Amino acid sequence: MLLSHHSTLTQFLIEERRRHPTASGDLNALILDVALACKAIARTVALGEIGGVLGNQGDGAAASVNVQGETQKKLDVVSNEVFLQRTEWSGLLAGMASEEMELPYQIPSQYPRGKYLLVFDPLDGSSNIDVNVSVGSIFSILRAPADVVESGRDVTEADFFQPGAQQCVAGYALYGPTTMFVLTVGNGVNGFTLDPNLGEFMLTHPRIQVPPDTQEFAINASNARFWEAPVKRYVDECLAGKTGARGKDFNMRWIASMVAEAHRILMRGGVFLYPRDNKDPSKPGRLRLLYEANPVGLLMEQAGGRASTGREPMMDVIPTSLHQRIGLVFGSKNEVERIERYHREPAACKDDANPLFVERSLFRD
């Protein structure tokens, strides 16, 4: 087929920008630089062992560990380098932060500095990379504080401590059977599929909406013994299916690659839970706020879904550290609101013998 009827990412961004006549085009240029980084990572991921990039980082001795205390894959490091290399020169950034770097990244002195901050997880789900399961890159663009832009000073961690609602742009690339780029610039969510022959992301999924209800939940059930009561209640009710309080059967998924889970939920609904649990008191959740929960959370909210800590809207959380972890629930709005309601309700009565107290919701909804 010679002519594609799909818009390119560039065309989409230019048409979006017409909604902001005073826009300089800087944000569009930055998004396209990020998209190029994702295309480069897609190509490297697709090569796999042929490219010699599988396995753990480190010279065969003890695998290196990132700031998270997690084993670093070669592709984690390669992907991080690609993000830096494809964006640092642009004059659009005041600084960057990444899952793979302990401290904020300062733009090298040979490049001009700009007004945006780029925050990213260069390769999420990388524990799956050696077994050829879909992985992704997640990114978020914030405005740098005015004094950073005016003075050109180095960025500090505190410059990134902005609530998710203040993100200008959020998105992910999914390296799956097809490579996709899913993006919000604050006016809904749009999905683009990479045409490898053109090397272009083509608009294939305009104005994505998350169905408000679902019968599919995603959680790592091996952590069940560490869950807090509201999460136990929610999952138990899903497992009880037709015979229980929900009156309908549920399906369960767990890919251990959040980008893949998020994409499935954007496409057909569902709910994802990696809640705060009692597994490791030093880690109030596994996922990181700035470059995982916030960008995915904004996408969900922009697509009519909801993102929460279980106790409060994710977009309201004020970060307190660069690599802060947080409990995360997102997906179909009515399902997330149910989970939040369970967190608000008083703790279950200890007297399980009395069915009246055990069944807190007297009405089957």
Question: Which residues in this chain contact ligand AFP in the complex, by CB under 6 A?
Answer: 70, 124-127, 220, 256-258, 274, 286-287
Smallest separation (angstroms) from ligand AFP to the CB of 316:
22
Give the C-alpha distances (Å, rounded to integers) separating 89 from 36, 37, 108, 113, 142.
14, 13, 8, 9, 18
User: Which backbone phi and psi does 87 adopt, to 5 degrees?
Assistant: -130, -25
| CB closer to ligand AFP out of 325 and 343 | 325
Which ranges of the chain does DSSP label H, i.e. alpha helix?
9-17, 26-47, 74-87, 146-151, 229-240, 258-268, 294-302, 333-344, 355-358
Smallest separation (angstroms) from ligand AFP to the CB of 19:
33
| CB closer to ligand AFP out of 83 and 116 | 83
The tokens for 346 are: 């008083």
What's at 90, amino acid-wise?
A: S
The tokens for 308 are: 């929460």
| CB closer to ligand AFP out of 144 and 300 | 300
Instruction: Find where tokens 């480069």 sit.
Output: 40
Whether 292 and 334 have beta carbons less than 8 Å apart is answered as no
Smallest separation (angstroms) from ligand AFP to the CB of 228:
16
Give the C-alpha distances (Å, rounded to integers) separating 348 from 236, 335, 355, 357.
14, 20, 11, 8
| CB closer to ligand AFP out of 11 and 278 | 278
| CB closer to ligand AFP out of 70 and 228 | 70
Residues 237 and 339: their CA atoms lie apart, in Å, by 11
Smallest separation (angstroms) from ligand AFP to the CB of 109:
32
Smallest separation (angstroms) from ligand AFP to the CB of 284:
15
| CB closer to ligand AFP out of 73 and 343 | 73
CB neighbourhood size of 4 (10 A): 14
Smallest separation (angstroms) from ligand AFP to the CB of 126:
5
| CB closer to ligand AFP out of 292 and 340 | 292
Describe the chain by its helix, strand, coil percentages, rounded to 5.
Answer: 35, 20, 40
Smallest separation (angstroms) from ligand AFP to the CB of 175:
13
